[in-house]
Amino acid sequence: MTSRVATAISIPFTEWVDANAERFIERLKEAVAIPSISGDSARRDDVFNMAHWLDGQLKSLGVDTKLVDLGTQNVDGKEIPLPPALLGQIGDFTSEAGKKKKTILIYGHFDVQPASKSDGWDSDPFVLTTVGDKLVGRGSTDDKGPILGWLNVLQYHHDNQKELPVNLKFCFEGMEESGSEGLDDLIVKEAKGYFAGVDYVCISDNYWLNDRTPVLTYGLRGLCYFSVTVSGPAWDLHSGVFGGTVYEPMTDLVTLLSKLVDNKGKILIPGVVDRVPSVTSEEIKLYEKLDYSIADIDKAVGAPIALSSDKVEVLMGRMRNPSLSLHGIEGAFSGEGAKTVIPAKVSGKFSIRLVPDQDPKEINKLVKVYLESEFAKLNSKSKLEVKPLSDGKPWVADYKNPNYEAARVATLLVYGKEPDFTREGGSIPVTLTFSDALGVNVLLLPMGRGDDGAHSTNEKLNRSNFIEGTKLLGLYLYEIGASINIDPKY
DSSP 288-303: HHSS--HHHHHHHHTS
Q: How far apart are alpha carbons 14 and 10 in whole angstroms?
A: 7
Residues sharing a CB contact under 8 Å with residue 81, sequence separation 6 or more, in sequence order? 44, 48, 69, 71, 72, 73
Distance of alpha carbon 469 from alpha carbon 192, whole angstroms: 31
Cβ–Cβ under 8 Å, residues 384 and 375: yes
Q: Which of 367, 354, 372 is nearest to 432 (CA)?
A: 354
Count of beta carbons in the 10 Å neighbourhood of residue 30: 13
Phi/psi at 412 (5° precision): -60, -40
Euclidean distance between CA atoms 321 and 354, whole angstroms:
8
- Beta bridge mates, 238: 341
Residue at 246: amino acid letter: V
- Report, as residue numbers or ranges, the catalytic residues: 111, 176
10 Å CB burial of residue 217 (0-12, 13-18, 19+) is buried
Residue pair 380/247 in contact by the 8 Å Cβ criterion: yes
* Cα four-point dihedral sign 207, 211, 214, 217: negative
Residue 457's CB is within 10 A of a number of other CB atoms, namely 15
Identity of residue 216: L
